[in-house]
Amino acid sequence: MTKKKRKSKVKEIILKGIPAAPGVITGKAYLLFDEEYPVPQRKKVSEHFIEKEILRFKQALAKARSEILSIQHRIAEEMGMDKARIFWAHLMVLEDEILIGEVIANLRKEKLTVEYIFWEVLEKYVKVLSKSEDEYLRERVSDINDVGKRVLNNLVGTKQKTLENIKDKVIVIAYDLSPSDTATMHRKNVMAFATDIGGRTSHTAIMAKSLEIPAVVGLESITSKAENGSKLIVDGSRGIVIVNPKPETLKKYRLQKKRFETFEKHLIKLKNLPAVTSDGKKIALAANIELPNDVPSVLAHGAKGIGLYRTEYFYMNRKDLPSEKEQYEAYKVVAERIAPHPVVIRTLDLGGDKFLSQFELPREMNPFLGWRAIRFCLARPDIFKAQLRPILKASVHGNLKIMYPMISGIEELRQANAILKDVKKELKKKNIPFDKEIEVGAMIEVPSAALTSDVLAREADFFSIGTNDLIQYALAVDRVNEKIAYLYEPAHPAVLRLIKTIIDNAHRERIWVGMCGEMAGDIVLTMILLGLGLDEFSTSPIIVPEVKRIIRLVRYQEARKIAEKALTLSTGKEVEDFAKARLKKLIPGVILEKRKK
Ligand code: PEP
Ligand code: MG
């Protein structure tokens, strides 16, 4: 929250980060948290004015409340209720009695202006929460920052700099982006974004792809290297941001941008063509969605189905749980719009880097290894059933499938299925129709599940490999930590071996296997995955055409040989170099992203 000193720099600076969403853009920087942030002066007020200060504080809170409600209303109208819900968390901060009480008590004690006291209290909260081991508490920092800024601006009388008020086309630069930032950022004027922190599979990066603007995360120092108005190039495909580019660099990137646009136009022409290899092997090519609003993009990019519907976004940033009716409506709409193609609904995957404001979760040292996903749902069958019921009810409107996240062994699959059976019984009793043959699959994203996939395959209808988590668990690399991003290697031999084990075990039991982690959209590895026998690829909608292009160009028999060879290599780098060389042979001039920093 404190101001950052920035020196004026005109030198070209090249920063390497993590590619979050593809595309190349040139434009002017817009720093989200810059000098305009009001840090109040430390000023005394006389005893006589204390009550007036309290009144001023209450008025500023009320004004912030009405501002947030009106943004929420506008976002709900323009982008749907799902995205508007994130503002509940902000309203909760405004109503936090402990925080408000502390400001008033300190004000009476210290007799300083209310803006200064409020700022002091906020700073204290932010400091304590940022250091917390608890991911949930750390995530509250961005809510406090958002709301704090709004209230301070009301107290000091300055106009807040937010993404809603942007008048020109800009590239947004920030330390990190809060959910409300990304929601309000879906505007014509935000051309790209670049942030200091974040990993390639953090939900911020995943959100960037669904917004369909180029983005680079994990740049570490972009907020101190760029100034407001600095000229920038954001290369979201390679994970590069250039500050103050030289004329020759600009020229080079203009050409690259043109190439990328032509490439996109060319790819979209593949929209109605099947995903079939040149020697006739059909592959299912689906897309991942976070919200029902993402469906048009799925259709526009020619995906044939949804391989992962991350339902937890439904539960995020709201005070209450979604009602069964609300859920039913959402699942029904998605099922109908995608029919006859399948929609894999993943049941609530709370935890890791996805925390829900309505649950008082215990503090955990390692949230990714903690009480999350199916573990939480099995412990809270009331919440689990309240999701399974609307999924089943909506199943008559299309081709729905159910998938459980974070299954680590057969017992969890059995327990989840027993709960599902109860719900089916209940619906049958009430004569409520549902698809009796609905397929039920397991996400394979925990090494123990991969290694016992022979057992799981006997009792699951399908598998979907969640590589985002599988890689972090197999290689012991936190998926959202940019400091160790170089160790997060999808091409690591250990990962390839696990994937091969999963696919072989599934096929032995004659069930299909998809992949819905970000690796499914990593075009360097498409031929290897194809050759390992993957039946379905599910990626962000914008990546679907790129994967389809490769599938349509390669011979399946060739892909099998490529996979076989890849399995003999010793390091991730060897696999990657080999895969890149084969891809360049298949598509000379292909644009490849930089994986490591
Ligand atoms: C995964 O882990 O690969 C996955 C698709 O799930 P999420 O990214 O939501 O954890
Ligand atoms: Mg996962």
Instruction: For 551-571, write each residue's pLDDT tens digit.
Output: 999 999 999 999 999 999 999
- Distance, CA of 319 to CA of 92 (rounded, Å): 8
In a domain, 266, yes or no: no
Peptide bond before residue 362 is cis, with ω within 30 degrees of 0? no
- Indicate whether 143 and 182 sit together in one domain: no
The pTM of this model reads: 0.71
Picking from 139, 156, 173, the residue at the C-terminal end of a domain is: 156
Residue 290 CB–ligand 1 contact under 6 Å: no
Least confident of 352-361, 539-548, 580-589: 352-361
Residue 219 CB–ligand 1 contact under 6 Å: no
pLDDT for res 364? 77
Higher pLDDT, 136 or 15: 15
Picking from 126, 156, 186, the residue at the C-terminal end of a domain is: 156
Q: How far is the CA of 466 from the centre of ligand 1 (A)?
A: 5
Residue 467 CB–ligand 1 contact under 6 Å: yes
- Indicate whether 380 and 466 sit together in one domain: yes
Which atom belonging to ligand 1 lies closest to the Cα atom of 517?
Answer: 3
Q: How far is the CA of 469 from the centre of ligand 2 (A)?
A: 5
In a domain, 42, yes or no: no
Picking from 111, 129, 156, the residue at the C-terminal end of a domain is: 156
- Indicate whether 473 and 540 sit together in one domain: yes
Cβ 523 vs Cβ 533: under 8 Å: no
Kind plus residue range of the DSSP H or E element containing 77? helix 50-79
CATH number at residue 502: 3.20.20.60
Residue 468 CB–ligand 1 contact under 6 Å: yes
- Indicate whether 524 and 472 sit together in one domain: yes
- Indicate whether 317 and 447 sit together in one domain: yes
Cβ 213 vs Cβ 193: under 8 Å: yes
Number of domains in the chain: 3
DSSP 8-state symbol, 446: S
pLDDT for res 36? 41
Instruction: For 23-61, write each residue's pLDDT tens digit.
Output: 889 999 998 864 344 567 888 999 889 999 999 999 999
User: Residue 26: what are its φ and ψ, rounded to 5°?
Assistant: -115, 135
Instruction: For 286-319, write each residue's pLDDT tens digit.
Output: 999 988 888 988 999 999 999 999 998 778 656 6
Q: How far is the CA of 517 from the centre of ligand 2 (A)?
A: 7
Instruction: For 75-116, write each residue's pLDDT tens digit.
Output: 676 666 666 666 777 888 888 888 899 999 999 999 999 999
- Indicate whether 166 and 315 sit together in one domain: no
- Report the residue among 201, 406, 519 best suited for mutation to probe ligand 1: largest number of ligand atoms under 8 A from its CB: 201
Q: How far is the CA of 588 from the centre of ligand 1 (A)?
A: 32
- Indicate whether 311 and 453 sit together in one domain: yes
DSSP 8-state symbol, 323: P
Peptide bond before residue 245 is cis, with ω within 30 degrees of 0? no
In a domain, 281, yes or no: yes
Domain of residue 457 covers 271-586
Length of the chain in terms of residues written: 597
**How large is the average pLDDT for residues 398-413?**
98
Instruction: For 174-211, write each residue's pLDDT tens digit.
Output: 887 765 566 666 567 888 989 988 777 766 677 777 77
Taking CA atoms only, the protein residue closest to ligand 1 atom 7 is 468
- Indicate whether 143 and 111 sit together in one domain: yes
**How large is the average pLDDT for residues 215-226?**
89
- Distance, CA of 74 to CA of 72 (rounded, Å): 5
Least confident of 63-77, 350-364, 444-458: 350-364
DSSP helix/strand/coil, 572: helix
Q: How many CB atoms lie within 10 A of CB 481?
A: 16
Q: How far is the CA of 369 from the centre of ligand 1 (A)?
A: 14
Residue 176 CB–ligand 1 contact under 6 Å: no
Instruction: For 485-518, write each residue's pLDDT tens digit.
Output: 899 999 999 999 999 999 999 999 999 999 999 9
Using alpha carbons, select from 243, 244, 250 the residue that is nearest to residue 219.
243
pLDDT for res 78? 60
pLDDT at 20 > cutoff 80: yes
pLDDT for res 319? 65
- Indicate whether 393 and 326 sit together in one domain: yes
Just list the catalytic residues: 203, 516
Q: What is the mean pLDDT of the chain?
A: 87
Taking CA atoms only, the protein residue closest to ligand 1 atom 5 is 517
pLDDT for res 112? 93
Instruction: For 516-532, write each residue's pLDDT tens digit.
Output: 999 999 999 999 999 99
User: Residue 200: what are its φ and ψ, rounded to 5°?
Assistant: -65, -20
pLDDT at 337 > cutoff 80: yes
Can you give 452-475 as a three-state secondary structure string?
Answer: CHHHHHCCCCEEEECHHHHHHHHH
In a domain, 415, yes or no: yes
At residue 397 the predicted structure's pLDDT band, cuts being 50, 70 and 90, is very high
- Indicate whether 346 and 361 sit together in one domain: yes
Q: What are 478's two structure tokens? A: 């936190």
In a domain, 265, yes or no: no
At residue 596 the predicted structure's pLDDT band, cuts being 50, 70 and 90, is very low
Residue 531 CB–ligand 1 contact under 6 Å: no
pLDDT for res 61? 92
Residue 305 CB–ligand 1 contact under 6 Å: no
- Indicate whether 144 and 174 sit together in one domain: no
- Indicate whether 382 and 407 sit together in one domain: yes
pLDDT for res 257? 81
In a domain, 40, yes or no: no
pLDDT for res 501? 98
CATH number at residue 220: 3.50.30.10
Please name which ligand lies nearest the alpha carbon of 518: 1
Residue 199 CB–ligand 1 contact under 6 Å: no
Higher pLDDT, 151 or 533: 533
Higher pLDDT, 396 or 592: 396
Q: How far is the CA of 388 from the centre of ligand 2 (A)?
A: 19
